[in-house]
């Protein structure tokens, strides 16, 4: 029966052909999708390895990761030894591998180029075949921590005050500065302070804040892109300062005058309302919100301006205090607020209150760039000038503002007129100095002897040392 045989033969041929096609297609099926999340460009003395691998049902035949360097292979992970890393199922299809490794776990890694390789395979065609994929990421191993050498001498820090240090750091591509407790003060290339031809020198202004302990550790730090960190001590002396305590009476008349305007002008208080008919108890509730949460939020806005600082000094000579002004309140005064004889709140006043005549011209304390000029809650109409290398000055409660952000200003240039906008009991200028967004006492910056002894002398000495080399 040749016809039947021919049909059977055709059917068999077709089936074989289909099977062959399926076999070939399976061989071309995509392997798992792989990604190396960490490290990026560098591996340091301690490093994180994070990778993801994705395939239908997270069904892997093999999954491995290792580092290749000059012919050597340094394992990071294998499905056969899952304890080598933490394995987490992120989705139905995706696994996340993560681990840290260091010189103890991988003593064979040396400085220089290396390659991270992740490979995986998955079953296809009912497990009869497998399909694999591999990715490789080029990295550089860096094991030598940055080196720091302090250059300047005689560092005197008064509680709540500022100081400067000049230091050398190598290599050049590291972040560095001064760490005071948990706060970091970045250093800037010394060329920004007039010290030329020394790419390895940095200048950092730092402070011991009013709310930090006198024994807070102060150190130079440097971090390279591989996460290696170096530190160095430098000689310094700490001086105590007494902060005053004061009592602030809060009257209903004051609340009626200031609360509605601040509520209306502060997006943080959207949903709250107040006007002339608001009950005294409601005004007091809003006042406490303003004096607490809004104060915190406004300080956060000011702290965020630190990121906009110039990398070079924009000022020269001592900063100017408001002309013919009387000091009404000093830096870091601890204030206790009373209403109808009851204590209602406590805050620390982080600037100077300077009173002159009403609507007195308010002038830039020194050269710089205007980086903020608008209404800001408790500060009312407010101007902030950046003086470079993290130093900024603030002028609050203004009745009018004459400058706009981005404007370069010179010392004594008029910024606006004093007033009583925001949380102000009367017409006065609230003046503050900020270092990396943190309030420091302005008294030092107003003092020509301090500027000369603490700042300019150190910069000249570093420049002179450079010149004599």
Q: Which tokens hold the place of 35?
A: 């990604």
Q: Which tokens hold the place of 280?
A: 């005294």
Q: How far is the CB of 379 from Zn ion (least distance, A)?
A: 9
The answer to whether the beta carbons of residues 200 and 169 sit under 8 Å apart is yes
x/- letters, 304..343, toward Zn ion (CB under 5 A): ----------------------------------------
Q: Which stretch, 256-264, 276-284, 381-389, 423-431, contacts Zn ion (CB under 5 A)?
A: 423-431
Torsion of CA 232, 233, 234, 237, to 10 degrees: 160
Per CB under 5 A, contacts with Zn ion among 194-253 are: none
Q: How far is the CB of 370 from Zn ion (least distance, A)?
A: 20
Q: How far is the CB of 180 from Zn ion (least distance, A)?
A: 25
Residue 123 or 439 with smaller CB distance to Zn ion? 439
Q: Which stretch, 173-181, 223-231, 260-268, 347-355, contacts Zn ion (CB under 5 A)?
A: 347-355
Q: How far apart are CA 287 and CA 136, in angstroms?
A: 60
Q: How far apart are CA 252 and CA 282, in angstroms?
A: 11
The residues with which 95 forms a beta bridge, in sequence order, are 53, 89
Residue 31 or 416 with smaller CB distance to Zn ion? 416
Q: Which tokens hold the place of 46?
A: 């301690």
Integer CA distances (angstroms), 236 to 104, 454, 455, in order? 36, 12, 14
Per CB under 5 A, contacts with Zn ion among 99-158 are: none
Residue 191 or 347 with smaller CB distance to Zn ion? 347
Residue 54 or 353 with smaller CB distance to Zn ion? 353
Q: How far is the CB of 423 from Zn ion (least distance, A)?
A: 8
Q: Residue 299, interface with Zn ion (CB under 5 A)?
A: no
Q: How far is the CB of 267 from Zn ion (least distance, A)?
A: 22
The answer to whether the beta carbons of residues 422 and 376 sit under 8 Å apart is yes
Q: Which stretch, 9-17, 66-74, 348-356, 380-388, contacts Zn ion (CB under 5 A)?
A: 348-356
The answer to whether the beta carbons of residues 347 and 337 sit under 8 Å apart is yes
Residue 163 or 353 with smaller CB distance to Zn ion? 353
Q: Which stretch, 251-259, 339-347, 424-432, 459-467, contacts Zn ion (CB under 5 A)?
A: 424-432
Q: Which stretch, 3-11, 93-101, 285-293, 422-430, contacts Zn ion (CB under 5 A)?
A: 422-430
Residue 202 or 430 with smaller CB distance to Zn ion? 430
272-296 burial by CB neighbour count: b if 16+ within 10 A, else e?
Answer: bebeeebeeeebbebbbbbbeebbe
Q: How far is the CB of 428 from Zn ion (least distance, A)?
A: 7
User: Judged by CB under 5 A, which of 353, 386, 427, 444 binds Zn ion?
Assistant: 353
The answer to whether the beta carbons of residues 222 and 172 sit under 8 Å apart is no
Between CA 122 and CA 124, with CA 123 as vertex, the angle to 5 degrees is 120
Q: How far is the CB of 335 from Zn ion (least distance, A)?
A: 10
Q: Which stretch, 205-213, 300-308, 351-359, 363-371, contacts Zn ion (CB under 5 A)?
A: 351-359
Cβ contacts of 312 within 8 Å, gap of 6 or more: 188, 191, 192, 193, 388, 389
Q: How many contiguous H segments (helices) and E segments (strands) does the chain have?
A: 7, 33
Q: How far is the CB of 328 from Zn ion (least distance, A)?
A: 8
Torsion of CA 21, 23, 24, 25, to 10 degrees: 80
User: Judged by CB under 5 A, which of 45, 122, 339, 430 binds Zn ion?
Assistant: 430
Q: How far is the CB of 430 from Zn ion (least distance, A)?
A: 3
For tokens 């009013």, what's the residue? 210
Residue 353 or 386 with smaller CB distance to Zn ion? 353
Residue 180 or 417 with smaller CB distance to Zn ion? 417
Say how many residues touch Zn ion, by CB under 5 A.
2
Residue 313 or 354 with smaller CB distance to Zn ion? 354
Residue nearest to Zn ion (CB): 430
Q: How far apart are CA 138 and CA 448, in angstroms?
A: 54
Cβ contacts of 79 within 8 Å, gap of 6 or more: 60, 62, 63, 64
Q: Which stretch, 129-137, 156-164, 229-237, 350-358, contacts Zn ion (CB under 5 A)?
A: 350-358
Residue 430 or 454 with smaller CB distance to Zn ion? 430
Residue 225 or 265 with smaller CB distance to Zn ion? 265
The residues with which 222 forms a beta bridge, in sequence order, are 176, 230
The residues with which 361 forms a beta bridge, in sequence order, are 417
Residue 163 or 333 with smaller CB distance to Zn ion? 333
Reply yes or no: is the peptide bond before residue 407 cis, omega within 30 of 0.
no
Q: Which tokens hold the place of 59?
A: 């069904």
Q: Which helix (H) or strand (E) holds 237?
A: strand 236-239
Q: How far is the CB of 165 from Zn ion (least distance, A)?
A: 30
User: Which residues contact Zn ion by CB under 5 A?
Assistant: 353, 430
């Amino acid at each position: 029966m040749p016809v039947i045989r021919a049909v059977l033969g055709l059917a068999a041929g077709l089936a074989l052909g289909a099977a062959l096609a399926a076999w070939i297609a399976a061989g071309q099926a995509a392997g798992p999708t792989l990604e190396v999340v960490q490290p990026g460009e560098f591996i340091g003395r301690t490093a994180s390895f994070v990778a993801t691998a994705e395939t239908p049902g997270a069904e892997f035949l093999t999954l491995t990761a290792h580092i290749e360097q000059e012919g050597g292979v340094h394992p990071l992970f294998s499905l056969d030894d899952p304890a080598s890393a933490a394995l987490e199922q992120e989705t139905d299809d995706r696994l996340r591998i993560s681990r840290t490794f260091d010189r103890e776990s991988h003593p064979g890694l040396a400085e220089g180029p290396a390659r991270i390789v992740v490979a995986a395979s998955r079953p296809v065609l009912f497990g009869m075949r497998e399909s694999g994929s591999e990715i490789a990421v080029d990295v550089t191993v860096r094991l030598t921590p940055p080196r720091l050498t302090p250059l300047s001498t005689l560092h005197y820090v008064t509680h709540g005050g500022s100081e400067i240090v000049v230091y050398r750091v190598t290599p050049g591509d590291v972040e560095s500065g001064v760490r005071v407790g948990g706060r970091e003060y970045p250093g800037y290339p010394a060329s920004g302070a007039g010290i030329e031809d020394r790419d390895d020198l940095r200048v950092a202004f730092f402070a011991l804040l009013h709310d930090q302990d006198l024994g807070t550790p102060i150190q130079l730090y440097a971090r390279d892109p591989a996460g290696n960190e170096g530190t160095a001590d430098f000689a310094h002396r700490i001086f105590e300062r007494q902060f005053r305590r004061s009592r602030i009476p809060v009257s209903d008349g004051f609340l009626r005058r200031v609360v509605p305007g601040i509520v209306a002008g502060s997006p943080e208080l959207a949903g709250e309302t107040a006007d002339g008919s608001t009950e005294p108890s409601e005004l007091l509730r809003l006042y406490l919100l303003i004096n607490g949460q809004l104060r915190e939020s406004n300080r956060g806005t000011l702290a965020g301006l630190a990121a906009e600082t110039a990398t070079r000094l924009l000022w020269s000579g001592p900063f100017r205090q408001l002309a013919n002004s009387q000091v009404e309140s000093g830096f870091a005064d601890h204030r206790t607020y009373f209403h109808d004889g009851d204590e209602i709140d406590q805050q620390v006043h982080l600037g100077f209150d300077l009173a002159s005549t009403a609507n007195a011209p308010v002038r830039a304390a020194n050269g710089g760039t205007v980086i903020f000029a608008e209404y800001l809650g408790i500060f009312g109409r407010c101007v902030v000038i950046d003086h470079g290398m993290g130093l900024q000055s603030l002028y609050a409660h203004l009745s009018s503002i004459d400058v706009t952000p981005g404007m370069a200003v010179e010392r004594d240039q008029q910024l606006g007129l004093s007033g009583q906008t925001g949380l102000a009991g009367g017409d006065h200028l609230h003046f503050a100095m900020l270092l990396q967004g943190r309030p420091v006492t302005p008294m030092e910056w107003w003092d020509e002897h301090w500027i000369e002894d603490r700042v300019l002398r150190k910069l000249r000495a570093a420049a002179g040392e450079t010149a004599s080399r």
